[in-house]
Amino acid sequence: MLPVECAGCRERRPGLRHGVCADCAAALDGLRPRPVRPTPAPAGLPPCVALGPYAGPLREVLLAYKDHGRHGLARPLGALLAEVVAVAVGAVRPVLLVPVPDTAAAARARYGDHLGRLARHCAGRLRRAGWPVEVRRAVRALPRPDSVTLDSAGRAAAAETAFRVRDRWAPVPAGAAVVVLDDIVTTGSTLAAVSRALSATGGSPAVAAVLAATEKRAPM
């Protein structure tokens, strides 16, 4: 069996399981979802739960998936995201998953909506565990600059007008939890903007679930 590059540590190793080596798989399995909140938190940001910090194997796997075409990682990442949703929501009840949409340009660059794929695998994992789950593509993304190039103020300004709720956004069933999904939370501006757009149409999110949260570093 020929060695393949592990998405977590970039070492070439044979017999990778779901694209990562045993050591990186163990590191990912050891992460436990926890509440996170950017400081300062933008208006409208719901409670947010993340699997772990944007560092180590989790960061590398996300980069491999989003930017290097490792689409096979959608299944294990979706399963990890399902763990976050379960912790964030708590008791089993109907859940509406609303993934933050890519812009058309970002989807073309990544050969598809990367978060949409994660949401589908996340929903499948939750359904197998007995959760009533529906993925709703309730929000569309308008053209905006790549957030990687922006500072905190720029992210907030870009997010403010970046999303629109689709005309056919159906009412939320009684008792269902609306969960906004994203891969990474940095300033929280994107999650807050999507949440405000949904709230304005009667679909207030109960929580946001993400895979990774960036951590601010103290200035040197």
Separation of alpha carbons 116 and 126, rounded Å: 15
69: left (phi over 0), alpha (psi -120 to 50) or beta: left
Residue 34 phi, psi (nearest 5): -150, 155
User: What confidence category does residue 144 fall into, taking pLDDT thresholds of 50, 70 and 90?
Assistant: low
Separation of alpha carbons 30 and 52, rounded Å: 10
User: What confidence category does residue 160 fall into, taking pLDDT thresholds of 50, 70 and 90?
Assistant: low
The yes-or-no verdict on residue 40 having pLDDT over 50 is yes
- pTM for this one? 0.87
Q: Is 209 helix (H, G, I), strand (E, B) or coil?
A: strand
Tell me whether residue 134 is exposed, middle or buried, using C-beta atoms within 10 angstroms of its C-beta: 0 to 12, 13 to 18, 19 or more: middle
The yes-or-no verdict on residue 217 having pLDDT over 70 is no
The yes-or-no verdict on residue 102 having pLDDT over 90 is no
The yes-or-no verdict on residue 101 having pLDDT over 70 is yes
Let me know: does 177 contact 18? Beta carbons within 8 Å: no
User: What confidence category does residue 145 fall into, taking pLDDT thresholds of 50, 70 and 90?
Assistant: low
The stretch 57-61 carries a mean pLDDT of 96
The yes-or-no verdict on residue 219 having pLDDT over 60 is no
Lowest mean per-residue pLDDT among 7-16, 28-37, 77-86, 148-157: 148-157
Which pLDDT belongs to residue 220?
37
- Position with higher pLDDT, 105 vs 57: 57
The yes-or-no verdict on residue 5 having pLDDT over 60 is yes
- Position with higher pLDDT, 127 vs 167: 127
- Position with higher pLDDT, 53 vs 107: 53
> DSSP alpha helices (H): ranges in the chain?
22-29, 56-67, 74-89, 104-109, 114-128, 152-160, 189-199
Let me know: does 150 contact 164? Beta carbons within 8 Å: no
The yes-or-no verdict on residue 1 having pLDDT over 60 is no
Which pLDDT belongs to residue 105?
73
Which pLDDT belongs to residue 166?
76
The yes-or-no verdict on residue 158 having pLDDT over 70 is no
